[in-house]
Structure 1
Amino acid sequence: MPFADQLISVDCVEALAEVLSSVAPRRQWTATRAVAASLPGMALSERARAVRDALINDLPSKWSASEKIISRALADPAFTSWMIWPVTEAVASLATGDGSAVVFDAGLVLLARLTPRLTGEFALRTFLNTDLDRTLVMAQIWAQDDDAHVRRLASEGTRPRLPWAKRVPALLARPAATEAILDALHADPSDYVRRSVANHLNDLSRSDPAVAVATARRWTETATPGTAGRVVGVVRHGLRTLIKQADPGALALLGYGTADDLSVDGPHLHSDTVTVGETLTFDVTITNTGAEPVKTAVDYVVHYRKANGALAPRVYKLTTRILAPGQKLALTRGQKFVPLSTRRFYPGGQALELQVNGARYGYVPFLLRET
């Protein structure tokens, strides 16, 4: 992803000030112009908040006047892309801070008009934290909108664990609160919308696996011939975390057989020592010993050493196959130990094992050395 200075950049904010100045020339937009110079060194979300605060300072204190300015700006094609994020945040702050239910709803309507220019998903969190149920009613209306961007806002903005976004504790406490929205969108004709629904379902699976599986089962059972393919894709992607966690309900729903008719040989390490920066390579062979085809989910688990010396497992997807009776599946995989900003490696004893249809096999230790 591009860096913050390539998204909400100095040029981006200066362009925003020009758009606003063109639709409201009597206002000075002093704070908005000035904030651009303070952006270097800020993270992306910090930039969004800084520009939001500058906009609130420059916009009229009366909601109706601010709404008119932003609405007029929407007529300008230049009013688009990353400059929209802080605008949506300003809209959320002004609309929820007014205290009026009428203004609250008007803010949501304006947010939906802005979202096709970028997204309003982050600003929606302010509305959700202010009045969850009122916001969810509007999101259910958005789920029927003709614009896929608005329909996606209904799903994405209400995700329990939306990345980059502020948490909404009430959503985490009420896993079924967004059920009506997801029911309306899970077979949406837009892949853009369905990806959001799948990620939303995956969020739910982290909070309440039973709710996630029950929801996915209901979709599967009510799918029509015209929507079945879409639904299968959403369910498979939405339950991916539960499959890695070997959740019995998710495995059964997606048609993975038991491990009783599978013979697993491995993992066999090419070397029991690997150096930081190199790759650990291993082989595995899986055989269907039964009389019926078996849908097979093959994952592997790396037990990483932590700073305190304890081991912590992390599951990785290897492959998904349907094995015919007697069929053998031979696989070779390499796991890189290249340091990343999101993962630090601690030298010493680690371990590798397989996970096939939820069952673990072949816990094999290995040594990770420093360069």
Structure 2
Amino acid sequence: MAEQSLMKDGLGRAAIARIGNSLAQVIPQFDARAFEADARRGLDQLELKARVHHLIDVLHRHYDLPFKKLSNYLQHLPEVWDRGSAADNKAGFAAWPVIDYVAVHGLAHPKEALHTLEKLTPLFSAEFAIRPFIQQHPDFTYAKLVDWCDHPSEHVRRLASEGSRPRLPWGMRLPQFIHNPEPLLGILQKLKTDESLYVRRSVANNLNDISKDNPEWMIKLCAAWLADSHEHTNWIVKHAMRSLVKAGDARVFPLLGYAAKPSVTLSDITLAKHTIALGDALEFNCTLSGGKRAQHVVVDYVIYFMKANGKLAPKVFKLKNIALAANETVVISKRHSFKPITTRRYYTGAHQVAIQINGTEIARREFELTR
């Protein structure tokens, strides 16, 4: 991977210069040069999240102001913020440590801190920074989240939903919502028909999080929403149920317009090769035949990966959503790459590939992965 493509470079030297120059415009006596020199020390050895923590520490050394006074200055930062190049998809990372600073050093001042996060979240989502306030000041923060649902900025409305996700990736978990999602209802209800796709996608992600621990609660809510038949809400429900669809939860397929009991036959899975080398791809196809009535079905495939302990672990991948006419036959082909990636380690040995219809596996074949 080329160095310039690494995520940590979103908080590299150019980002540090932008941070320093922007802060110097709103904070009196802020020494941008001294901050930049301090921030660059040891930076190259750090990964992305470590850089966030490092820069928070450096900022604290150079702010030299009580938080209440500092927060007044930070609230004006969006007016002068250097957003970097529009072609750089990591340019927004520069605001990350500035925003998360509020969560580390403003936790004792929730009124000023939350107002600051409201102002800063359009620069880079404050979804990580808001979570300690949900934990430490639950009533005050919850009231603010509900209030933000009516905010004119889509960034602030999204923060209400994304910041309260029970299992936000990279963020601290919120066990109170994992155990009982009921308090989230007030936020989700207010945002379920939001005009912004950015907000609606966050609502779907929040519900998808809930489905992992409280599927009954989530399905009941989604069924009620679908009864209202609103275009925006229907979109949310479809995307919110993706984990339950992959898991084959039979309750969700009729809600999404798929056959409750699909009548489908599948020819055996045909493999282009039964032995593939690491770096190659598994190619397979199969033939689906529908029954006497037209039906909608979800077709996924499953790779059973060999693990270090010699056991197989399944991973579901999206294939197709198909509208089958009566007695229609459809040929499905797929190519799954086994090129090395940073998020998965491959082990040689016997693997398996399977096809599932509406979450139910109906055919499986074995293949060998070699070096």
Instruction: State the TM-score, normalizing by the size of structure 1.
Output: 0.90
Say if 1:268 and 1:27 are closer, same or farther in 2 by CA, change over 3 A: closer
Root mean square deviation of aligned Cα: 2.1
- In the TM superposition, what is the alpha-carbon distance from 1:33 to its structure 2 partner? 4.5
Determine the C-alpha separation between the residues in 2 that align with 1:59 and 1:296. 58
CA contact (8 A) 1:136 1:178 kept: no
Alignment of 1:111-150 (within 5 A): 111-150=117-156
Instruction: Between 5-14 and 297-306, report the one with greater CA deviation.
Output: 5-14
Matched-pair contact (CA < 8 Å) for 2:166–2:209: yes
TM-fit CA distance, 1:115:
0.7
Query: Structure 1 counterpart of 2:94, which letter?
Result: M
Deviation larger for 58-67 or 26-35: 26-35
Mapping for residues 306-325 of structure 1, pairs under 5 Å: 306-325=307-326
Q: Is the 8 A contact 1:282 1:334 kept in 2?
A: yes
Q: 1:313: Cα distance to partner?
A: 0.9
Aligned partner (choices 242, 245, 248) of residue 244 of structure 2 = 242
Whether 2:185 is the aligned partner of 1:182: answer no
CA shift in 2, pair 1:343/1:4, >3 Å: closer
What is the count of residue pairs matched by the alignment? Answer: 360
* Contact 1:14/1:33 (8 A) holds in 2: no
Task: Give the AA of the match of 1:40.
Answer: D
Give the AA of the match of 1:12.
Answer: A
Output the amino acid matched with 1:52.
I
Alignment of 1:28-43 (within 5 A): 28=31, 30=34, 33-43=37-47
Is the CA contact (8 Å cut-off) linking 1:349 and 1:366 kept in structure 2? Answer: yes
The residue aligned with 2:258 is 256
Alignment pair present for 1:164 and 2:175: no
- CA shift, 1:171, in A, is 2.7
Whole-angstrom distance in 2 between the partners of 1:113 and 1:155 = 17
Aligned counterpart in structure 2 of residue 86 of structure 1, from 68, 74, 97: 97
Cα separation, 1, equivalents of 2:240 and 2:262: 26
Please state how far the C-alpha of 1:77 moved relative to its aligned partner. 3.9
Alpha-carbon distance, 1:215 to partner: 2.0
1:26–1:277 distance in 2 versus 1, CA, 3 Å: closer
Deviates more, 1:231-240 or 1:310-319: 231-240
Structure 1, unmatched stretches of 5+, are none
Deviation at 1:75, TM superposition (A): 2.9
Which portions of structure 1, spanning 4 or more consecutive aligned residues, are displaced by more than 4 angstroms?
A: 27-33
Partner of 1:348: 349
Q: CA 1:266 to 1:38, structure 2 compared with 1: closer, same or farther past 3 Å?
A: same
Aligned to 1:44: 48
Give the conservation status (yes or no) of the 8 Å contact 1:17–1:33: no
Deviations 1:218-245 (A, max 9, x none): 211123xxxx332222211111111010
Other-structure match for 2:199: 193
| 5+ long unaligned stretches in structure 2 | 85-91
- One-letter amino acid matched to 2:122: P
CA distance in 2, matches of 1:4, 1:264: 43
Q: Closer, same or farther in 2 for the Cα pair 1:28/1:282, shift >3 Å?
A: closer
Please state whether the residue corresponding to 1:366 is helix, strand or coil: strand
The verdict on how the C-alpha distance between 1:2 and 1:179 changes in structure 2, with shifts beyond 3 A counting, is farther
Distance in structure 1 (CA, Å) of the matches to 2:156 and 2:252: 30
Q: CA deviation at 1:304?
A: 1.1
My pick for the range that moved more, 166-175 or 104-113, is 166-175
Secondary structure (helix, strand or coil) at the match of 2:267 reads strand
Which residue is 1:212 aligned to? 218
CA offset at residue 79 of structure 1?
7.0
**Cα distance, 1:60 vs. partner?**
4.2
Query: SS of the counterpart of 1:117?
Result: coil
The letter for the 1-side match of 2:255 is L
Say which is worse superposed, 162-171 or 241-250, in terms of deviation.
162-171
5 Å-filtered alignment, 1:248-327, equals 248-290=250-292, 292-327=293-328
Specify whether residues 257 and 247 from structure 1 end up closer, same or farther in structure 2 by C-alpha distance, changes over 3 A only.
same
Deviation digits for residues 321-367 of structure 1 (CA, Å, limit 9, x no counterpart)? 11111111111112222121111221111112110022211222222
SS of residue matched to 2:41:
helix
Which amino acid counterpart does residue 137 of structure 2 have in structure 1? D
Deviates more, 1:251-260 or 1:73-82: 73-82
Deviations 1:285-338 (A, max 9, x none): 111112x32111001111111111111111111100111111111111122221
Residue identity matched to 2:73: I
TM-score (ref. length: structure 2): 0.90
Q: d(CA) in 2 for partners of 1:75 and 1:369?
A: 56
Q: 1:357 and 1:5 mapped to 2: Cα distance?
A: 39
Paired-residue identity, %: 30
Tell whether the 8 Å contact from 1:52 to 1:90 is kept in structure 2 after alignment: yes
Alpha-carbon distance in 1 for matches of 2:60, 2:356: 53
Displacement of 1:110 in angstroms is 1.2
Contact 1:160 1:171 in 2 (8 A): yes
